[in-house]
Amino acid sequence: MMQNKDIKRLSLYLLFAPFALWIILLVILPHIGMVVLSLKEKIAPRVYEYSFANYLEFLNEPIYWNTLLRTGSMSLLVTALALLIGFPIAYYIAKIAGPRSRGGLFLLCLIPLWVSDLIRAFGWILLLRETGVISNFLLWTGLIGEPVEFLYNDVAVIVGLTYTVILFMIVPLVSTLDGMDNAMIEAGYNLGGSGFTVLRRIIIPYAMPGIVAGCIVTFMLTAGSYLTPILLGGKNSSWFTEQIYNQFITRFNWEGGAAFGMLLLFFTSLVIWLGLKLSGQTLANTVAKS
């Protein structure tokens, strides 16, 4: 009897072990390391002291917090665009497409993930540059008189980012919408609702967990992306991850970089917390569910 219990407990530990190792070694320890590093101030070569200097540096330099706010607001915009574009796509896949075409459509959405961030960004560069496909096409049609540069501006960054992250919006949306009984939508019409009413009062509230989950993932991915904003952005565009990279690599200022990393984490967590509060959702019934 006792032995049986011990074996059960042992197998439970064994099952739990990979998860615990992953959480401790790859999530908790590095973050503790980052926090400790971010609290060090360089006094002289190889001499460090504990202080909040790196965080104060962030507050005192408008470039840094402007970049963070800019990154945050553009990420919100990308999230909103991904939702606006992704919702109809997800609705089509989950509710309108036949069961056979559904798999194919899902696969189509996955295709961008098969190539690396870098290749995807180069794809956009080929399309958008002054001598690129779109500019040449418009020239050919005569809509523009001379080549136009579509690249190296914030619009290009937003387009590229939306394209990259939209899948992460579509997947949770499809899974929640898929779980919605079609009769619910029909009941919405049957009781007198117009298409807009049904969308606003029935479909969107029902899909809310999926919407929130998608928005959280999309926002985190966007705010944390590096290559796309760097490669597509213009001479004035800056992204907070670029600042972190600069601190670590260009300026050899690991302490500052660590502080920036923690700040990005706090900031995105704060935005998500606000979003959850405003939408009346919890993490448990959104991200954890889908």
Binding site for other proteins (CB under 8 A): 45-46, 63, 66-67, 125, 129-131, 149, 151-152, 181, 183-184, 186-194, 197, 201-202, 205-206, 208, 230-231, 234-236, 238, 243, 246-254
Name the minimum Å distance from CB 106 to other proteins: 26
Which residue's CB is nearer to other proteins, number 190 or number 269? Answer: 190
Residues 6 or more apart whose CB falls under 8 angstroms from that of 276 comprise 212, 282, 283, 286
Name the minimum Å distance from CB 136 to other proteins: 11
Residues 6 or more apart whose CB falls under 8 angstroms from that of 223 comprise 71, 72, 75, 240, 264, 267, 268
In 179-248, where does DSSP find H-type helix? 182-190, 195-197, 204-223, 227-232, 240-245
Name the minimum Å distance from CB 37 to other proteins: 11
Name the minimum Å distance from CB 270 to other proteins: 23
Which residue's CB is nearer to other proteins, number 106 or number 282? Answer: 282
Which residue's CB is nearer to other proteins, number 25 or number 110? Answer: 25
Q: Which of 61, 245, 230 is nearest to 156 (CA)?
A: 230
Which residue's CB is nearer to other proteins, number 82 or number 203? Answer: 203
Residues 213 and 205: beta-carbon distance below 8 Å: no
Which residue's CB is nearer to other proteins, number 9 or number 201? Answer: 201
- C-alpha span between 30 and 22 (Å, rounded): 11
Name the minimum Å distance from CB 164 to other proteins: 18
Q: Which of 238, 228, 221 is nearest to 158 (CA)?
A: 228
